[in-house]
Structure 1
């Protein structure tokens, strides 16, 4: 007569008179079926379908949402400067699931980076959400507002976009990094408008202090927000840039 542990290992009971080597063989066979022997790693950078591998024991799912785009800036007069804030990074979420909990298959959604605002006073767009079926969802980073102009006798400051947050599922999540603020002082753009970082991506630098016009810089992969645009006096309108796409990574440990 035999019984099973809570982890599924079969062991003999005192009334079992099977030979010792048979007990050891049975123990080794059952243990082999519940101890991880290999890992299957699937990285999704576009929408797709995850199918549970044969022999799956448990599954680690990492979901990274996309970053937000940055706003554009209007044309400036001789005494004006302008700068748009940075877009924010996308949210990250992770879940550890049993094979049964992960299901036989799941639809994978990978968020697309938010597009940048076109040249002129146009806001950037939010990054797309990423998800592992209905089990885990991460929220995309916010696009930044459009740039505003400050004159030689005034200053203007605009807040960067808030990092993506508020998703569902999983056992750990991290908010995306906020975008940097934009500021113009006495008609001169002071470039503090970096793109927000994410779990996988570093902060995207601003393009430096310049009286000339510069567009935004696209966010770093995966899930980073775009840095903002700027222009000094007597410059043409500038466009923002796109945030980076997200990703979904599914690691399955198999017997």
Structure 2
């Protein structure tokens, strides 16, 4: 079978599966574009659809700034003199609000430790913005959209090697909540994604959530474990293995361990939760 024949066969089979799976879902009647990133087929078409069909989200410049940290690092090189040492840097996307140079910020949950009794204690990290960058462009302020690099006065040891990934950078005094338990309204997929099947065998169905099982949650850029402590219809109460700074209405992804791998099984929306007491700001 030639490559072109095989490629046409694969597209035909994929379209057949789409007709069976998509009706009745949110993707019903949505445009489907076959692509191959390795062979660079139709990547330009996907980009065109994104630009022309997906509306630009509304940007909120008024609310207190809130940035999801997706990486953090120490910008200092070995051998730097004491006077040359700079504070740690964080990179991420601003969800809402505007960050400005010389603005005082805090990172939540911050430093998380357990005491002798096993109780969790969160201490936010307080700092000041000394620089803002978008790629190689130095900024005086940064707005939602795109990736932003934030230079701070934080101890480089605290931020090195992506130690702040999953945390939230906010303005001092905006008081975002830190949760240790979540109540979510969830929706499960019909079938498992990314699991190998033999021949024409269909993907396995996603079973219902069970009390006591362990899931992995993705909230913003944070990945954390969660224990299901109660389930009722499409509502679940989850106990987190580590505290998370988030807000009600935020979307989360649910994954279950299948054949030694975490597989996406559904998504949900945070409805409520149990918050953790955070020490008041010293600034």
TM-score, normalization by structure 1: 0.24
Relative to total residues, which structure has the larger strand share, 1 or 2?
A: 2
Relative to total residues, which structure has the larger helix share, 1 or 2?
A: 2
Determine which structure has greater relative contact order: mean sequence separation of CA pairs < 8 Å that are 6+ residues apart, divided by chain length: 1
